[in-house]
Amino acid sequence: MMDAIDSLSAPRSAGVGEPSKPSLVHPWADGLLVGWLGVGLWAFAVFAPAPAVAILNNSTALLWTATAVQAAHFAMSYRLSYADGARALRQHPIALGLFPLVLAVVTVGIAIVAASAGVAAVQSVTSFLISAVFITSGFHFVRQSYGVARIGFSYAKASLQPWENRALRLAVYPIWLVGLRPLLSDQGGIGYLGFEVGPAILNGAVFACLEAAAWIAVASVVAVYLRVWSRGVRPTGLMVAPYAVIVVWMIAPIGQIAAASLAFSLVHALQYLACCYRVERNRAGGEGIPGLVTWFYVVVVAACLGIVATRGLPGWLDQTWGTPGQPLLFSALAFVYLNLTHYVTDAVIWKSSGSLLKPRLHSG
């Protein structure tokens, strides 16, 4: 995402139905989609009465909303990655060809071993892979948040000095590390689909130091906003919301792992889809209402396909081939495969220097 800033933020003419100010979706909607909605969910979880928080933590509506949006974001990343077919594979044979193939062999191999020797035989390696996904998920999200915020700075025509950009970029890393507390704390450890996740190797003193570093990083980001404001540019939601949402969910979590995971995946996917929307609209030349209808169909189809891949097929395999009372191996392997391939393909498609998305990031 970060490497796509220059291209995605390039000046463009407004098409039919486009707002006059540069935006991902619309000036009034951008802040909500890239973070304010997530901040609102956090505030509800923290300040609402305990029974309301319990409803959030067990909400079927939140579960399926997050699942559908997350599924659409997975499917959209593959749509953008492989839209050029063989040409894309020739240009990026490792990221788009070899890595997904090798990971497929590994996951199928784990399933075969589990079928012959039981899930216990592959529990350690599967737990390791799930832990890797959770760790890289946070890294992926904070880097995306930086990239989206930088798009906001560009749209607002807010020039940044080198140290200011460096402060924005580096601030996300201590925030990410603090967010790993439930996974890495020796007082924590979590379960996912029946697998124990997280090496639980760091003590409270380490996280206290990391939290102090994270708040210093937040202060440096606030300082950048104030300096930009002092130069006559009012910070917009697209500039501020991506940082606000990672601060509240990673430094000040609600303690409800299930709700936090769902809300986090929902916010991340909404950020991603907002950027994909701009890519698709620019590729279509800003078609106005017909473009919106096309985009709606694309997202709905992507969500349906994604739900089949993330929930439907793995769930059927677990019911058909799994053992009652044992971890949900097929769902876990689908989770690992889709997330890790998504991270690698993203590293390719959002590079402005590459040719996969560059023609689609400019209109006209």
DSSP sequence for 193-216: TTEEE----B-HHHHHHHHHHHHH
Q: Is residue 363 part of a domain?
A: no
Element (H, E) at 167: helix 162-179
Q: Give the three-class secondary structure for 290.
A: helix
**Selection from 3, 1, 36, 7 nearest residue 240 by Cα:** 36
Domain that holds residue 61: 2-9+21-357
Rounded CA-CA distance 20/75 in Å is: 30
Question: Rounded to the nearest 5 degrees, what angle is found at the Cα of 150, between the Cα atoms of 146 and 156?
Answer: 150
Q: Is residue 16 part of a domain?
A: no
Q: Is residue 332 part of a domain?
A: yes
Q: What is the DSSP string of 18-84?
A: --SS--SS-HHHHHIIIIIHHHHHHHHHHHS-HHHHHHHHT-HHHHHHHHHHHHHHHHHHHHHHHTT
Q: Is residue 224 part of a domain?
A: yes
Question: What is the number of domains present in the chain?
Answer: 1
pLDDT in tens, the chain (364 residues): 544 444 454 434 444 455 557 888 888 899 999 999 989 888 887 787 766 666 666 667 777 777 788 888 887 888 778 877 788 888 888 888 999 999 999 999 998 898 888 888 888 898 899 888 888 888 888 998 998 999 899 899 999 999 999 999 999 999 999 888 878 876 666 778 888 887 777 787 888 899 999 999 999 999 999 999 999 999 999 999 999 999 988 887 665 555 667 777 888 889 988 888 887 777 666 555 445 566 666 677 777 777 777 778 888 888 887 777 778 888 899 889 988 998 888 877 776 444 444 444 443 3
pLDDT on residue 275? 86
Rounded CA-CA distance 171/149 in Å is: 12
Q: Which residues pair with 185 in a beta bridge?
A: 202
Rounded CA-CA distance 56/45 in Å is: 7
Q: Is residue 14 part of a domain?
A: no
Rounded CA-CA distance 87/355 in Å is: 10
Q: Are 353 and 115 in contact (CB under 8 A)?
A: no
**Selection from 72, 198, 65 nearest residue 137 by Cα:** 198
Q: Is residue 364 part of a domain?
A: no
Q: Is residue 110 part of a domain?
A: yes
C-alpha radius of gyration, the chain, whole number: 21
Place of tokens 């933020």: 9
What is the chain's percent helix, strand, coil content, to nearest 5? 75, 0, 20
pTM score of the predicted model: 0.83
Q: List the helix and strand counts (H, then E) for the chain.
A: 17, 2
Rounded CA-CA distance 243/142 in Å is: 8
Q: Which DSSP symbol is given to 87?
A: H
User: Which residues, including other chains, have CB under 8 Å from residue 52's CB and lie 6 or more apart?
Assistant: 44
Torsion of CA 296, 344, 309, 314, to 10 degrees: -160
Q: At what angle do helices 237-246 and 162-179 cross, to 10 degrees?
A: 30
Q: Are 57 and 258 in contact (CB under 8 A)?
A: yes
Q: Is residue 15 part of a domain?
A: no
